[in-house]
Amino acid sequence: MSSLPSTSRAWHLVARPHGWPEDSDFELREVPLAAPAEGHILVKNLHYSVDPYMRGRMNDVKSYVPPFQLDQPLDGGAVGEVVASNDPGFAVGDHVLHGLGWRDYADVPAKHAKKVDASIAPLSAYLGVLGMPGLTAYAGLLEVASFKEGDAVFVSGAAGAVGSQVGQIARIKGASRVIGSAGTDEKVKLLTEEYGFDAAFNYKKGPVAEQLKEAAPDGIDVYFDNVGGDHLEAAISRLNVHGRVTVCGMIAGYNDAEPTPGPRNMAMIIGKRLRLQGLIVTDHQALQPQFVQDVASWIASGELKFNETFVDGIENGVDAFLGVLRGDNTGKMVVNPTR
């Protein structure tokens, strides 16, 4: 293994954040690498993912995914190139998707790796538009929200990796109106001019309830929630009878040290017969083949567009993650650890 690295740099969680994460909660450490054991492959990570859900894993609480362990490498989606293989299913040079991100080289059990095709889409797309965020959008809109042609759809966090795809799939599938909220005027412009949203607004420029009412004078049928807080309250007010809400994320409250108060208009759920349902993407793996087929064809035809925000250098990995929590990214935030 002389031509291969003997160590990997990996981000470790060294303290559990209270409120907003601090740089001191993380440490970039070198960990030893050996030749891959039987059934393992050594992967040079070309891209890894930082996502809002990772903030929840930094708390020591039981959830749908185990918490990160202190003094252990962080993990998450990554795509890279096989540089050594001890498994017959993978050859040196193969590109693979796996779950050991936050490091520059990963010793991956072959059973947890999946080959990906760089000729269909850029490798980074398998972390976003063709990956977990994309399936989240697809399943959350079409299955959880029971979207049907003619629905008016509102998406919060609409310039992010999930939200931007939700709005575009709704448009492609025949929504009567697609509305998005975002945190900068540049993102609002992107939603309407590039992604084809019918209306969009900057939630920092005025009360969400007022801006949503103006953007959706006839109400909404579906709300895809990435934010929670005042966005969820506003959506409940604008939802039509039998409206549906997919609760995907509540990033507005992820770094609150105290529990966030719920919407003040919950009683409307009764009279409007609303349905609010939480979404965990791993419940919807059966949709994966259809999702990849549909989205790949929409990308090829130009019907679905996507953006990515890249941060180079593994040493900047924590900054990239904090940037996601601040909303610095347009589309998927991706770290290129070895650049």
State residue 262's pLDDT score. Answer: 81
pLDDT tens across 273-332, in order? 999 999 999 999 999 999 999 999 999 899 999 999 999 999 999 999 999 999 899 889
pLDDT for the residue numbered 2: 47
If one compares 237 and 61, the residue with the highest pLDDT of the two is: 237
State the pLDDT at residue 253: 76
Distances (CA, A) of 189 to 126, 270, 331: 26, 36, 14
Q: What is the predicted pLDDT for the residue at 272?
A: 98
Please report the pLDDT score of residue 275 as a whole number.
Answer: 98
The arithmetic mean of pLDDT across residues 42-70, rounded, is 93
- pLDDT for residue 315: 98
- Given this model, what pLDDT does residue 182 score? 96
User: What was the pLDDT predicted at 231?
Assistant: 96
The pLDDT confidence band at residue 63, using thresholds 50, 70 and 90, is: confident
Reported confidence tier of residue 152, pLDDT bands at 50, 70, 90: very high
Q: What's the pLDDT band for 62 if we cut at 50, 70, 90?
A: confident
Going 107 to 113 to 118 to 124, the CA torsion angle's sign is negative
| pLDDT averaged over every residue in the chain | 95
**DSSP output for 132-153:** HHHHHHHHIIIIIS---TT-EE
Q: In residues, how long is the chain? A: 339
